Amino acid sequence: MTAHFATDQRGTALIVSLVFLLLLTMLGLSSLQNATLQEKMAGSLNRRQASFQLAERVLRAGEAKVKTAGVALPRCGSVATCGPPPEALTLEHAGAGGEVVKWIAAEGGFYALQNFATTRDPVNAGPAGEDEAWVLYRVTAVAIQGDARTVLESVHTDQRRIMWRQRQ
């Protein structure tokens, strides 16, 4: 009678161990999927950071162009042409791609310059002289790293940056 009981135990132990093995396999697969997802998220974050840093370098290159002595850009003629260039969110490379602005390659990205306003007292620029007005330029910089695109804009005088923003 004892031998028969031992045979039943061995069959049960096999089934229980197979169930545990199945559970451990599912846990391992879940952990593998989680690790893969985290790796993809880290790669995406890395590309976005690289794109932002490149866009900042391109923006500074465009601002350096504005600071160049004797820079003379024609003033945009209408509200439509003075606005932020809409193609910045879709353009893939430098060149004459936009209707309003010319895109210039720099630092691995590209930028556009616009002379869009004149003022006597821009924010953070200090007052101009009595007969002096500040010319305001928009510098739009675009950088693409893989599937990450960063568009930065700044408003600049011929001397310093007044403000900047990141477009989405």
| 85-138 pLDDT, tens digit each | 888 888 888 876 666 788 999 988 999 999 988 887 777 656 555 667 888 899
- Given pLDDT bands bounded at 50, 70 and 90, which one contains residue 78? confident
- Rounded to 5 degrees, φ, ψ at 160 are -155, 165
> Each residue of 146-162: pLDDT tens digit?
999 999 999 988 888 88
Q: What is the pLDDT of residue 5?
A: 55
Tell whether the model's pLDDT for residue 16 goes beyond 70: yes
Q: How far apart are CA 110 and CA 95, in angstroms?
A: 9
Six-digit token pair at 119? 């003022």
